Amino acid sequence: KRKEQKSERNTLTRVLHCLFIINRMINKCIRFALIFAIALLLVFIVRRWMFTLYLVSVEKGSKTTQNTELVMVNKLPLGPIQRGDKVLMHCKNRYIGQIVALPGDTITIEKQLFVVPVRPQCPCSCCVNGGYLVVKCNGKMHVVCRHDIEGRVKHLLFLNL
């Protein structure tokens, strides 16, 4: 009878030990899943509202090769924009351009004087205070509303594909 009790205790001990190990593995998996979910959420927040990477086509060089730049765009609020800032615009496509003129500036485009409007006709709140900007992109001047600018650009890599 004692051998049977000892055998039952050993079996019970083994079962409890297995349950303990399974419980630890489940806890580790839950912890890993939670940490992974938090990391994904942080990556989403950073990419959506702070910084993101873009591959942008650039019209440089010969027409047989397509030049592409990998750029990082700072999506934090633009703050004061200055002439010479490189920005990413999104109209129909995404373009990299350089700020040439600010609201109220007078510039010459194709031998004609042009005053950059201070008060845009766009009703959005970000444009009311910022007005239009003149951006030079691929050798051409574009009048761009402030809300069409995604953020400041930091060039990371130039690819010649």
pLDDT digits (tens, 9 = 90+) for 107-150: 887 788 888 877 766 666 656 556 788 888 878 888 888 888 88
**What pTM was computed for the model?**
0.62
Q: Which residue has the tokens 């351009």?
A: 97
Contacts of 86 (CB under 8 A, 6+ apart): 96, 97, 98, 99, 152, 153, 155
Q: Which two tokens stand for residue 73?
A: 């765009």
State residue 107 phi and psi, 5-degree precision: -130, 165
Single-letter amino acid code for the residue at 148: D
Q: Answer yes or no: are the C-beta atoms of 68 and 55 closer than 8 Å.
A: yes
Alpha helices, H only, 1-145? 2-49, 125-130
Element (H, E) at 121: none
pLDDT digits (tens, 9 = 90+) for 35-90: 999 999 998 888 877 888 887 766 554 444 456 778 888 887 777 788 999 888 87
Q: Which two tokens stand for residue 76?
A: 């934090």
Q: Which two tokens stand for residue 125?
A: 């709140």
